[in-house]
Amino acid sequence: PATPGVTPSVSAPCAVLMEKATGEVLYEKEAHTRCLPASVTKVMTLLLIAEDIEAGTLSLDDTVTASARAASFGGSCVYLAEGERMSVRDMIKCIAVVSANDCAVVMAEHISGSEELFVQRMNQRAAELGLEDTHFTNCTGLFDDEQHYTSPYDVALMSRELLRHEFIKDYTTIWMDSIRNGQFGLSSTNRLVYWYSGCTGLKTGFTSAAKYCISATAERDGMELIAVIMKAPDKDARTKDAKALLNYGFSTYALVSAAPQEPLTPVPVAMGTADAVQPIAETENASVLVERSKAGGLTQTVTLEPQVTAPVAAGQRLGELSVLDGDTVLVTVPLVAQEAVARRSWGQVFTQLLRMAVFAA
């Protein structure tokens, strides 16, 4: 186990450790250096597939057909035959578990019509995510190309985006499985899946020029970490470095919820069709990353408007919640109206005044 707070020893020249929920970097070593990514490229390939599935333009049950070009790919593959048909579900499984190049190309062609067009989309998505040190020329990472590069930090960002699609972990956590009705066995290229507690994936890579790379992800106690290692000299060094970063993160940091610890008092509404409106946190599952030793000593303060005047819009700011370490504010979460409250009409106001007069009499 790592000693809390003691910076880990990482042999690889380029690495980064990121916490998923906040995106905070907990460790970096040449994190923005452009490197050949090898099959870690497929993090972006899987991301585009996952986004299409959740958008409804692609289904896990869809059947795709291998082209002659896809079937010709070597390296890590499942030896697709030209014309062989397979479900998207199995294609994802093959890409995630054994880094199948042939399946990655099949999916690229199925989604975009050609690998070239799919790669354009990969680069467009990289730009949208703000990946400043990333450019793709293929969807597999099989071919070393000076124009095909990324950085540990950018890999962490695209991995973080992929992990937003929870279903992908159904595949990235597989140690052993099979396809073709059990006739072809699959065994994960990521050793951490088998023996590292809480491992959620994510993707390994190797070429002779890129050396050994990995985006290793794991979750414990509600906190998920992303450890990226690039240019490691061998498999053992890659695994050891990833483990060291993950152990460091889990032993040193904790993710603390910034949700209100007690029910929030409704805010009175003047001239509204309702007398009050319920405040809620603007950001669902808001959290703050702190040193583990401080996690139990944090406090919260809540500030709310004494009253608001209708109309009140849903999402209108009503106050804020702050999480503090002593006198230091760690995070401030806006508190907003849970629902809209319309303004009373003059008729409604008159009716209420009439009722009040009758009651007073």
Neighbours of 181 (CB within 10 A): 6
Please state, in angstroms and as integers, the Cα–Cα distance from residue 178 to each residue in 67, 166, 170, 283, following that order: 22, 22, 14, 41
| Both structure tokens of 276 | 């009050």
How many Cβ atoms sit within 10 Å of the Cβ of residue 342?
Answer: 14
Strand 25-29 and strand 14-19: pairing?
antiparallel
Task: Point out the catalytic residue in the list 67, 99, 151, 159.
Answer: 99
188 carries an active-site annotation: no
Tell how strand 184-187 and strand 25-29 pair up: unpaired
Per 3-state DSSP, the chain is made up of helix, strand and coil in percentages (nearest 5) of 35, 30, 35
The catalytically annotated residue of 42, 169, 203, 243 is 42
Q: Using the structure block, give the residue that is written with the tokens 């390994």.
A: 204
231 among known catalytic residues: no
- CB 168 within 8 Å of CB 95: no
CB distance 38 to 205 below 8 Å: yes
User: For residue 241, what are the CA distances in angstroms to 15, 105, 158, 179, 297?
Assistant: 9, 30, 20, 32, 32
d(CA 25, CA 167): 25
Annotated active-site residue 99? The verdict is: yes
> Which residue of the set 20, 29, 39, 287 is catalytic?
39
CA atoms within 13 A on the CB side of 273: 11
Task: For residue 200, give the 3-state DSSP assignment.
Answer: strand
Give me the active site residues, please. 39, 42, 99
